[in-house]
Structure 1
Amino acid sequence: MRRVLALIWLLVVLAALGYVAVQSVQGLRLETDILALLPREDQDPVLQSAKDRMAQNLAGRAVILVGHPSREVARAEALNLRRNLLRSGLIKPNTDIPDQDAIRRLGAAYFPHRAGLLSEPDRQRLGAGQGEPLVTRALSQIFGFGGVADSRLLARDPFMLFPAFLGDLPVPANRLVMDGGMPSVADGPITWVLVSVMLAGEPYALDFQRRFVEAVQAPSGVALLRLGAVFFAQAGAEQATAESSRVGAISMAGTVLLVLLAFRSVGPLVLSVLAIGTGLLTALAACLWLFGSVHVAAQLFGASLIGISVDYALLYFGQVFTVRTAPSQRLKHVLPGLTLGMVTTVIGYGSLALSPFPGLKQVALLSAVGLIGSFLTVLLWFPLLDRAPGRSLNSKAAAMAAALWRFWSEARFQVARKAVLALLALLTVWGMTRIEPDDDVRRQQGLSPVLVAEQSAIQRLTGLGQNTRFFLVQGESEQQVLEREEALGDRLSGLTGWQSAARFVPSFRRQADNARLVQTALIDPHLAAYRARLGMAEIEAVAVSDTPLDLAMIRSVGALPILDSLILDDAMHAVILDGGADTDALRMAAQGLEGVRLIDPVGDISRLLEAYRHRALMLLAVSTVLMVPVLVWRYGRSGAVRVLAPALAAIIATPPLLALAGLGFSFFGAMALVLVLSIGTDYGVFCAEDKVHDPVTLVSVWLAMITTLLSFGLLALSDVAAVKAFGATMLVGVLTAFLLAPSAGRRP
């Protein structure tokens, strides 16, 4: 029967191998979108849709500044860069920065409706009855040095209100000037030329990232500054791939060296690698089959699975140091512990699937399938393939293991045990007074410092940034939405900069009100004297247009792609913020305005992380409850408590101990505690299964602990704060659980 099951398992593994091979030939899909890791629990589908739309708009843009001391070289290289990107199909032909031709088209579309168009400063002056400053400004523009007015313009727009309106449009990057049709800015001796592009591909797709980043290169002597999600995503994917490769290589190398040193034979090494390989292969196949892709988070933690999946092989081959020479005897002796250990660990990993993070759901699946695959390999193949001869246990290792057994079991060490536990309790209580929650999602990312510096430089030079906060404005009609935007804009004035559809196209009501203000506060009291001052016989009066300007007219011009980002649909617009105003002040600005909500995706995610940190702690309770029946069935009530105690002590002590080291407690640390519980329970199970306190058992557990620390513990060296928190928690928690695990053994 065992041979039949072993053959069936071989067929499953071969099928997984074939599936992964086919997927590899077609191109493995590796997801790098950080948004895929974030919770999506907005109860309002409209709100979630708006967030998704704005996130896509933000991710679909990229900004490059091309700099050189020579203005001509900077302009030529900027043109060349854009031309190459267009030729390669990496960007769309349109841009969100209007050029000179676009401005002319806009002027032609706006001009017939000029009677209802006012810049915000002009509107405020006229609303206060202050028409004289506008008269003075117009006269200075006419008679001043380099005056730009002519008789035809004066006849149609006597007070030069229309140029003021165009100049007040919230066009992105208002610190730039149009230099020969190209947005530019001078910074000391360097001339910077802006290349603002809209991506033609998926910014989180690895192939597109690679092609785009490789295409954004500059010749020697030309400086480049980059801003965009595609650059950060590519750097993050590269970092994650490098870290997973490094962790996997070190973990595998350490495991190989450890097995060779411990068993002094190639046979256990080959079979241990086989157990690891089948686990990883089946896990990858299951992940690709169910999800269609693998997220870099799952890839990174999957590399760490090496240190867990090898535990079953180590517990099995630990029996070579005993009198059990037959493979069936070795398996029979460790099978109860292996089975219980696998079940409790899978329960712990399965709890990750209850989290709201799609990336962690992949981690849960990959890890659970990988562990089951490794367990089945040990169970079904090892008895058939094992040819390892019996060996004697290293005397020093045996002495250390025996000493640890005696410390936790013999009466003469009772005072020392109490002292150790009291010290652990004291450090835990002290650390609890210093625990600081760390739920800010911005601190959980590993952003490239080079790109962060370039982003700061671009913001300083141009005013462009990546502010994710925005107001969502809803109404029953387009005109009602525009009116509500205008009411919001009145409150935002002086608080922060903003871009809204109403600033490009005022509502019908605002246009009529503007025309009335011009007539009553400017034309009626000042036009006659103004005409006499100019010595002109007749000036065409400004009349209200019969057809007010609407958004469709301006959008049809195609000169302002930014409107596509602001208009989510006819009854829902976004108001994008330019500055870094305080969030509370922004919320106050929207207070009392119907249909207006401040959306702060980063803040929302941080608040959700806080909520899910508490939920993760609840997962600990769920995992414990799921483990208890199995442990009670095997060991009875008191025995179950004894087995769980080391792991529970580890998860209670780990966050305070890390707090003493200056590490905050985040959702990712809380999720790691779920695994500490399951792995620590494994160690307790292995020790509880040994009724004679055999040093071989503790040496095997010690080897398993080292391989776990070689994998998960190495994550503590990551530059990504979330991964670092996970790894540090695993490092301290697993080590603590191992040191306490012998207390789960029955005392002689």
Structure 2
Amino acid sequence: MSFVWRKRWFLMLLPLLLALTVWQIRVESDLNAFFTATDDEDSRLLSGLLQSGELSRRYLLVVEANADKPDDHTNMLANFSAQLVQGLAKLDGVEQVWPANQPPRDWIDAVTTYAPYHARLFSLNPAQDGVTLFDPLRLLAQAEGLKQALLSPQGGFVKTIAKQDPLLLSLNGFKGLQAQFAQQSPISAAGGAIILQSQPPALDSAAHQQLQSAIHATFDALNANAGGGFHLAMAGVPVFSVAAHSEISRDVTLVSVVSSVGVVLVFLLLFRSFIALHWIMMIQAAAFLVGTLATSLAFESVHSLTLALGASLIGICVDYPMHVMIHSAKHRHTPLAAVQLLWPSLFMGGLTTVVGYIALGLTGFPGFEQIAVFALFSIATSLALTRWVLPALLVNVSMQVAHLPGIAGWVAFCGRRRKLLLSVFAAAVVLSLLVLPQLRWMDDMQKLAMDMDFIKQQDQAVRAHFSSIEPGRFVLIQADDFETALQRSEAAERRLQQLKQAGVLSEYHGLFPWLVSQALQAENMQTYQQDITPQFRQAWLDALTAAGLSTEKLGTLLPASSQPLNPETVLASSVRHILSGQLLQGQQGVSFAIWLGDHDAVKLSEGLQGLAGTRYFSQKDQLDHLAAQYRDRSLRMLAIGIGIMALLIWLQQRNLRRMLLTLVPALAAVLFIFATWAVIGEEISFLHVIGLLLAISLCVDYGIFFMDNRGRDSNVTYHAIASSTLTTLASFGALGLGKTPTLPILALSVSLGVTVGFLLCPLLIPKTTK
């Protein structure tokens, strides 16, 4: 195909590629999807909890009067909050909303349906509690309590239950829930604390951004009618999600723009040709679009961080055309002759870089799997376009390359002082190996989280007004079948009751009595039947008469229901919604979560010892465990990646010495950087290792070009490598502007690696090897 047709086909296909990519792509910014691995049961559980767990979808709202309001504003606050609850309940995306000092409406409705099963669920410890509950001497007090409950504001609710359960045994199991609503701050007691359960997954930032805007709009409208006397504070996982999405979007835009501008400025500094820049940028645009499209087809969506890191590939992919242009300008070759001369080195350099990115994709990060696919197709496209399209685009382009000061001088200095410099290098290697054991590894993944101190402080201030259930830490119950899981859950709740009495935890939310095992139902029923004797029934009638209550309506103590409380029936009702955050999805078997309030993690974990299928689960601990896994995998993939690169270079060179010389600048750069971090006490995470893995794949390119030296001119080759280093620093350096910690860490690791590797090439690869 002639150059003219190659050029035409390229110009026709590029707009089609752009349209196809825009049509196909779906971008997400869920940090959980990028960072949380899903290769084991705990990781899948963690991912599901972060994404759609009930507590993760919950907003905590606090309405307070402004400082200039009069002290006696309790009634005004209660009335305003009640209006706000009604307004919020009408919003799209709101599952339910209720004052924190009251149970949700569906809880109250659900409790009434448990009255027929009162004899089957009145206690977790029926033999122990039955002594008190069925004591004839206490019946008068029970009758008086029933009378007071019927006369209370909740009398209608109590009356519905008392018709079938006069002793209110079914409420005995629910008394712990009522206590939770009583443990509120003064703001909550006055109605100023509100809980809103949202419908969208916690990390669906776009949906939650709309919902939060609607919440604020509803509040502002009501507050304006109330004279502007109140202010609203909001907390919850979705608040962090929206803030993180905003920061990531900012990072993606900033990194992409600065990276592109940096590469453009370097290119113009070197070639001073806007025509050449135009064609090179079109090639890079095509490479970026192919990478984006391939990633979109391989995965359900493309993460915004993938696009941010993909933008840094501009500085890598532009290297291949730049090598061709520099050799073409310096040696007065045609672009076609230059690309044919350099093609073996270009291909091997691109191949080793792809190996580095594939190794990156195998480190365990779901997000880095995307980046590996993105890099594979972007680099392959850039190489192919450089080989077969670039010569056609540059046919009539005049090229002159600016001289980079210091490059030839450094090459000459390394040649003149090689023995001395090699001695210094050898001493540095020995010292680096000696200090490596001092490396400090980061064991807290939260240190990699975004800096959102203001939101964290607001979150703590809001949560101070609520019952302190911690969504990130709970007791995990697992079993092969539902009945066994329920029995284990009940055993865990008995243990938690003891730990609560011992002050180890403040409270917990279990599944009892919403769900009760068949074994416990049978035990409750047996206790009930034994204790409800004819003498007890008569004593109850006497107590009702003494309390002035109707014996006709409340005197009949029904026998235990012959039908058990069936879990399938319960979960087909509104109770499933109530328990949605505690019924966990697993690959196999059944898993439950018992939510915890403030607690001593060590003592609580020890207190659960010996309970089958029961353990303490912490999202933070699991994330830290993932961090350790990522670190170990990163180190393994660092070694494997180096091994594969070495094999590929040996297959090309068929010379062990040349292969080692090609690798040694990159390996030495990584060693020196690790040693420097060890000396200064830098905490090293898996991201630092991943960055150095990328640095090695790039530095190996420098070794390949310097070793091959296909133009037989070390100065020209090193000028080309220097140009590649500058574009790499421009693109990866832009990552350092991001607020997402992943980006600055990768920026530092890669920038240090390529800089040191570039400087070591002329020292460690002698001219005699050309």
TM-score, normalisation: structure 2: 0.81
Asked if 1:579 corresponds to 2:597, the answer is yes
Instruction: Give the corresponding residue for 1:324.
Output: 332
Q: Is the 1:236–1:447 Cα contact (8 Å) retained in structure 2?
A: no
**Residues 423-476 of structure 1, C-alpha deviations (whole Å, 9 max, x = no match):** 46535643x344222254433332644443343234321125552344443556
Q: 1:503 aligns to what SS in structure 2?
A: coil
Asked if 1:254 corresponds to 2:259, the answer is no
- Counterparts of 1:377-456 in structure 2, within 5 Å, are 377-386=385-394, 387-389=396-398, 391=400, 393-394=402-403, 397-398=404-405, 400-410=406-416, 412-419=417-424, 422-423=427-428, 425-426=430-431, 429-430=434-435, 432-446=436-450, 448-456=452-460
Q: 2:197 aligns to what SS in structure 1?
A: strand
Asked if 1:35 corresponds to 2:30, the answer is no
What is the aligned counterpart of 2:581 among 565, 568, 576?
A: 565
Q: 2:441 aligns to what SS in structure 1?
A: coil
Q: Structure 1: which 5+ runs fail to align?
A: 177-184
Instruction: Give the corresponding residue for 1:741.
Output: 761
Instruction: Give the corresponding residue for 1:593.
Output: 611
Query: Residues 391 and 21 (structure 1 numbering): CA distance in 2 closer, same or farther, change over 3 Å?
Result: closer
What is the aligned counterpart of 1:634 among 640, 644, 653?
A: 653
- Alignment partners' CA distance in 2, 1:52 and 1:145: 41
Asked if 1:360 corresponds to 2:365, the answer is no
What is the aligned counterpart of 1:645 among 641, 658, 664?
A: 664
Asked if 1:671 corresponds to 2:690, the answer is yes
Q: Is the 1:642–1:743 Cα contact (8 Å) retained in structure 2?
A: no
Query: Residues 288 and 424 (structure 1 numbering): CA distance in 2 closer, same or farther, change over 3 Å?
Result: same
Q: Is the 1:687–1:744 Cα contact (8 Å) retained in structure 2?
A: no
- Alignment partners' CA distance in 2, 1:433 and 1:129: 65
Letter in 2 for 1:196: L
- Alignment partners' CA distance in 2, 1:100 and 1:613: 44
Q: Is the 1:684–1:744 Cα contact (8 Å) retained in structure 2?
A: no
Q: Is the 1:169–1:504 Cα contact (8 Å) retained in structure 2?
A: no
**Residues 61-91 of structure 1, C-alpha deviations (whole Å, 9 max, x = no match):** 23141413241333323322332x23xxx23
Instruction: Give the corresponding residue for 2:467.
Output: 463
Query: Residues 676 and 440 (structure 1 numbering): CA distance in 2 closer, same or farther, change over 3 Å?
Result: same
Query: Residues 525 and 167 (structure 1 numbering): CA distance in 2 closer, same or farther, change over 3 Å?
Result: same
Asked if 1:91 corresponds to 2:94, the answer is yes
Q: Is the 2:94–2:196 Cα contact (8 Å) retained in structure 1?
A: no
Asked if 1:483 corresponds to 2:479, the answer is no
With 68-77 and 635-644 compared, the bigger mean Cα shift is at 68-77
Letter in 1 for 2:697: S
**Residues 678-716 of structure 1, C-alpha deviations (whole Å, 9 max, x = no match):** 101011122223386643332332222122122223334
Shift of 1:363: 0.3
Q: Structure 2: which 5+ runs fail to align?
A: 66-75
- Alignment partners' CA distance in 2, 1:352 and 1:735: 20
- Alignment partners' CA distance in 2, 1:318 and 1:155: 93
Q: Is the 2:365–2:630 Cα contact (8 Å) retained in structure 1?
A: no
Q: Is the 1:78–1:195 Cα contact (8 Å) retained in structure 2?
A: no
Q: 2:59 aligns to what SS in structure 1?
A: strand
**Residues 118-166 of structure 1, C-alpha deviations (whole Å, 9 max, x = no match):** 4669986656999699779759858999986999999987876655543
Instruction: Give the corresponding residue for 2:71.
Output: none
Query: Residues 442 and 321 (structure 1 numbering): CA distance in 2 closer, same or farther, change over 3 Å?
Result: same
**Residues 241-275 of structure 1, C-alpha deviations (whole Å, 9 max, x = no match):** 21121111111111111222222332332233233
What is the aligned counterpart of 1:510 among 506, 520, 526?
A: 520
Instruction: Give the corresponding residue for 2:73.
Output: none
Letter in 1 for 2:509: Q
Instruction: Give the corresponding residue for 1:187.
Output: 187
**Residues 339-383 of structure 1, C-alpha deviations (whole Å, 9 max, x = no match):** 221121122122233333332121011112112222222222332
Query: Residues 474 and 228 (structure 1 numbering): CA distance in 2 closer, same or farther, change over 3 Å?
Result: same
Instruction: Give the corresponding residue for 1:56.
Output: 52
Q: Is the 2:315–2:724 Cα contact (8 Å) retained in structure 1?
A: yes
With 712-721 and 234-243 compared, the bigger mean Cα shift is at 712-721
Instruction: Give the corresponding residue for 2:313.
Output: 305
- Alignment partners' CA distance in 1, 2:559 and 2:192: 42
What value does the CA root-mean-square deviation take over the aligned residues? 4.3
Asked if 1:214 corresponds to 2:221, the answer is no
Shift of 1:623: 2.1
Instruction: Give the corresponding residue for 2:70.
Output: none
Asked if 1:710 corresponds to 2:730, the answer is yes
Letter in 2 for 1:487: A
**Residues 265-320 of structure 1, C-alpha deviations (whole Å, 9 max, x = no match):** 32332233233212112211222233242112311211111111111232223236
The number of residues matched between the two structures is 726
With 290-299 and 538-547 compared, the bigger mean Cα shift is at 538-547
Q: Is the 1:81–1:216 Cα contact (8 Å) retained in structure 2?
A: yes
Letter in 1 for 2:729: L
- Counterparts of 1:156-171 in structure 2, within 5 Å, are 163-169=171-177
**Residues 603-628 of structure 1, C-alpha deviations (whole Å, 9 max, x = no match):** 34432432332222222232222222
- Alignment partners' CA distance in 2, 1:692 and 1:116: 90
Q: Is the 2:280–2:321 Cα contact (8 Å) retained in structure 1?
A: yes
- Alignment partners' CA distance in 1, 2:178 and 2:753: 53
Q: Is the 1:118–1:164 Cα contact (8 Å) retained in structure 2?
A: yes
Query: Residues 477 and 415 (structure 1 numbering): CA distance in 2 closer, same or farther, change over 3 Å?
Result: closer
- Alignment partners' CA distance in 1, 2:641 and 2:359: 7
Query: Residues 60 and 694 (structure 1 numbering): CA distance in 2 closer, same or farther, change over 3 Å?
Result: same
Asked if 1:283 corresponds to 2:286, the answer is no
Q: Is the 1:67–1:190 Cα contact (8 Å) retained in structure 2?
A: no
- Alignment partners' CA distance in 2, 1:734 and 1:133: 85
- Alignment partners' CA distance in 2, 1:197 and 1:258: 52
Q: 1:462 aligns to what SS in structure 2?
A: coil
Q: Is the 2:438–2:678 Cα contact (8 Å) retained in structure 1?
A: yes
Q: 2:192 aligns to what SS in structure 1?
A: strand
Q: Is the 2:273–2:399 Cα contact (8 Å) retained in structure 1?
A: no
Query: Residues 559 and 616 (structure 1 numbering): CA distance in 2 closer, same or farther, change over 3 Å?
Result: closer
Query: Residues 96 and 498 (structure 1 numbering): CA distance in 2 closer, same or farther, change over 3 Å?
Result: farther
Query: Residues 321 and 487 (structure 1 numbering): CA distance in 2 closer, same or farther, change over 3 Å?
Result: same
Letter in 2 for 1:502: F
Instruction: Give the corresponding residue for 1:81.
Output: 88
Q: Is the 2:468–2:598 Cα contact (8 Å) retained in structure 1?
A: no
- Alignment partners' CA distance in 2, 1:596 and 1:272: 60
With 466-475 and 642-651 compared, the bigger mean Cα shift is at 466-475
Q: Is the 1:276–1:310 Cα contact (8 Å) retained in structure 2?
A: yes
- Alignment partners' CA distance in 2, 1:59 and 1:314: 53
- Alignment partners' CA distance in 2, 1:275 and 1:421: 42
Query: Residues 456 and 334 (structure 1 numbering): CA distance in 2 closer, same or farther, change over 3 Å?
Result: same
Query: Residues 429 and 634 (structure 1 numbering): CA distance in 2 closer, same or farther, change over 3 Å?
Result: same
